Amino acid sequence: MRLNRSAGILLHPTSFPGPYGIGGLGKSAYDFLDFLKKSGQCLWQILPLGPTSFGDSPYQSFSTFAGNHLLIDPDTLIEQGLLEQEDIEKTDFDPLKVDYGQVTPYKNLLFKKAFARFISQKKPLPDFVKFCRENRVWLDDYALFMALREYFIQERKDMDSALQMWPAWPADLAQRKKTELAFWKNELQESITFQKFLQYIFFEQWNKLKSYANKLGISIIGDLPIFVSMDSADVWAHPELFDLDEDGYPSRVAGVPPDYFSETGQLWGNPLYNWKRHKETGYEWWIERIRHTLKMTDILRIDHFRGLDEYWAIPAGEQTAINGKWLKGPGRSLLDAVRKKLGDLPFIAEDLGIITHRVEALRNKLELPGMKVLQFAFESGPDGGYLPHNYDSPNAVVYTGTHDNNTSWGWYHSASAEQQDFFRRYLNVTGEDVSWDMIRLAYSSIAAYAIVPLQDAMGLGSDFRMNTPGSAIGNWKFRYTEEMLTDTVAYGLNYLAKLYNRMPV
């Protein structure tokens, strides 16, 4: 994929302002898109949109196909007559942080009220019936899975969370015996329909938002995690596609060895793929997964691209990611199968960390742009590959930082004296306005795309970072308030976009 020179903002929808404790797909989302237009931005990059599981990470989802229903906007439901204004209870949510423990039960209660009005209609909406039919390949399994999860969480609420996961369900259900599935589909019919309703509303709101973005000339960059969560409808519905033992648990799990972010590596815990089985099916599940995600976005970042060439396999039960080993992935075989079915690949390869020549060759053969992160540029002197004067091709995406990095202000003020000195000398600056110095450096580079986390455009410090890899708490909470999205920020981005030829054509 070849890129046109342009600029954009990295921001997940959970970060939008509003009164409901978490960002949503209502007015604040449209205001943000108007801000992007005013700022001369053509790109909006988001994190995975799936419903989050334990830890609230968008990279650990109950489904690779479903949408996060917590993003549904209640005000839109009021406009549709599915909620009344008196249904909205007064809240005291932190405007700068998402508290999932508060938000989840609050919004679920609202959605159940909306669902009650929805099913009280004399007949189902034709659009709802059509949505269920068109998405049944994943929706039926997902809705049943979520209904079962809710049932067993309530039944086993005093037990360890591991006993609430699907491998600990009754054996015939965990193994998806037909008679058992039929029984539970009948037993949990209303709960199943509720889950389908949530997905219908989510996609209705998301598709309208995406359409608005595209009309403004803004493309959405989505994010595809290479692995899926163990506690997901994907693994439960397709256990043969994953490296599981006879009881349904992974014998080895995913992660990465010690790296920039952690001395003990990152132990993600996701099940690994049975790549042999995927190849036998012509990678059908992967193709449908990518096809579905590209309906929701315009461009797709492939997270942990290296894992397609080789992946770090860690024995189940390990406490860190140190004792793993590299195993061969599908490589070109998968990507060729996807391209044969879907055409050109509008992908960005997340190629950070320790990257081998084979991974670079795979990326280059497919002409996929890689990533350059400026916060990594000042660690190794003038020959560092992340320094803009060493970029060898414009077919790249440059970031001041990603969702896994500190904010640029926070990075600079926690960097070593040597790195700070190198930064100041390289940019010929005082270090007083680090965030905008980094933005200017990104925009001035030859990289076709320049992406900036909104926190950097706002000049925010470490307290506003999105994620700290290796830390299990305090992540995925960032929000901003409406007042923080100022015309001054928009003018600054617009000015630099014009100056460095990144304005829309």
**Cα distance between residue 162 and residue 253, in whole Å:** 16
Q: What is the DSSP-derived secondary structure letter of residue 266?
A: E
Q: Is 504:54 a contact under the CB 8 Å cutoff?
A: no
Query: Tell me: the pLDDT tens digits for 80-117?
Result: 999 999 999 888 999 999 999 999 999 999 999 999 99
**Cα distance between residue 100 and residue 55, in whole Å:** 9
- The residue-averaged pLDDT of 149-156 equals 87
Query: What distances in angstroms separate CA 130 from CA 121, 196, 217, 253, one per listed residue?
Result: 17, 12, 29, 38
Q: Catalytic pick from 350, 351, 437, 456?
A: 350
Name the band, by pLDDT with cuts 50, 70 and 90, for residue 1: low
On the 0-12 / 13-18 / 19+ scale of CB atoms within 10 A, 260 is middle
| Dihedral over Cα of 13, 17, 19, 21: its sign | positive
Task: Record the pTM.
Answer: 0.96
User: Would you state the pLDDT for residue 502?
Assistant: 97
Q: What are the φ/ψ torsions at residue 428 (nearest 5 degrees)? A: 55, 55
Query: What distances in angstroms separate CA 134 from CA 49, 171, 211, 350, one per listed residue?
Result: 19, 31, 20, 31
**Cα distance between residue 393 and residue 441, in whole Å:** 16
**Cα distance between residue 119 and residue 269, in whole Å:** 39
Query: Tell me: the pLDDT tens digits for 19-44?
Result: 999 999 999 999 999 999 999 999 99
User: What is the number of residues in the chain?
Assistant: 505
Annotated active-site residue 433? The verdict is no
Query: Tell me: the pLDDT tens digits for 345-368?
Result: 999 999 987 788 998 999 999 999
Residue 160 has pLDDT above 80, yes or no: no
Query: Tell me: the pLDDT tens digits for 432-484?
Result: 999 999 999 999 999 999 999 999 999 999 999 999 987 878 899 999 999 99
User: Would you state the pLDDT for residue 99?
Assistant: 95
Considering the chain, what is the average pLDDT of its residues? 94
Per domain, the residue ranges of the chain are: 238-292+303-361
Name the band, by pLDDT with cuts 50, 70 and 90, for residue 3: confident
Helix/strand/coil for 443: helix
Annotated active-site residue 350? The verdict is yes
Residue 392 has pLDDT above 70, yes or no: yes
Sheet with 6-10, edge to edge strand ranges: 347-349, 299-302, 219-224, 43-45, 6-10, 449-453, 396-399, 370-373
User: Would you state the pLDDT for residue 495?
Assistant: 98
Of 231, 268, 222, give the one whose Cα is nearest residue 249.
Answer: 231
**Cα distance between residue 469 and residue 195, in whole Å:** 31
**Which of 90-99, 180-189, 291-300, 451-460 shows the lowest per-residue confidence on average (mean pLDDT)?**
90-99
Query: What distances in angstroms separate CA 45 from CA 153, 202, 302, 356, 403, one per listed residue?
Result: 34, 19, 13, 26, 10
- The helix/strand count (H/E) of the chain reads as 19, 12
On the 0-12 / 13-18 / 19+ scale of CB atoms within 10 A, 298 is middle
Query: What distances in angstroms separate CA 235 from CA 34, 179, 463, one per listed residue?
Result: 39, 20, 35
Helix, strand, coil proportions of the chain in percent (round to 5)? Answer: 45, 10, 40
**Residue at 242: amino acid letter:** F
Q: Catalytic pick from 56, 73, 243, 303?
A: 303
Q: Catalytic pick from 75, 99, 318, 404?
A: 404
User: Would you state the pLDDT for residue 169?
Assistant: 94
- The residue-averaged pLDDT of 114-132 equals 88
DSSP 12-69: -GGGS--TTSS--SSHHHHHHHHHHHHTT--EEE----SPB-TT--TTSBS-SSS--G
Query: Tell me: the pLDDT tens digits for 240-290?
Result: 999 999 889 999 999 998 877 678 888 999 999 999 999 999 999 999 999
User: Would you state the pLDDT for residue 355?
Assistant: 82
User: Would you state the pLDDT for residue 129?
Assistant: 94
